[in-house]
Amino acid sequence: MIRRKVLADLELSPQFIADVFAEMDSSGQALFFVEVAKIAATWGEGFSGDYQWLSIGESLVRDATSTEAARDIIRGILLGFHD
Q: Does any domain span residue 72?
A: yes
Q: Does any domain span residue 80?
A: yes
Q: Does any domain span residue 13?
A: no
> For every one of its 83 residues, what pLDDT tens digit does the chain have, with 9 covering 90 and above?
889 999 988 889 999 999 999 999 999 999 999 999 999 888 877 676 778 888 999 999 999 999 999 999 999 999 998 76
Q: Does any domain span residue 1?
A: no
Q: Does any domain span residue 54?
A: yes
Q: Say if CB 66 and CB 76 are below 8 A apart.
A: no
The predicted pLDDT at position 52 comes to 87
Q: Does any domain span residue 14?
A: no
Residue 24 and residue 29: Cα distance in Å, rounded?
Answer: 6
Q: Does any domain span residue 59?
A: yes
Structural domain harbouring 54: 47-83
Q: Does any domain span residue 79?
A: yes
Q: Say if CB 21 and CB 32 are below 8 A apart.
A: yes
Residue 22 and residue 28: Cα distance in Å, rounded?
Answer: 10
Q: In total, how many domains does the chain have?
A: 1
The predicted pLDDT at position 17 comes to 94
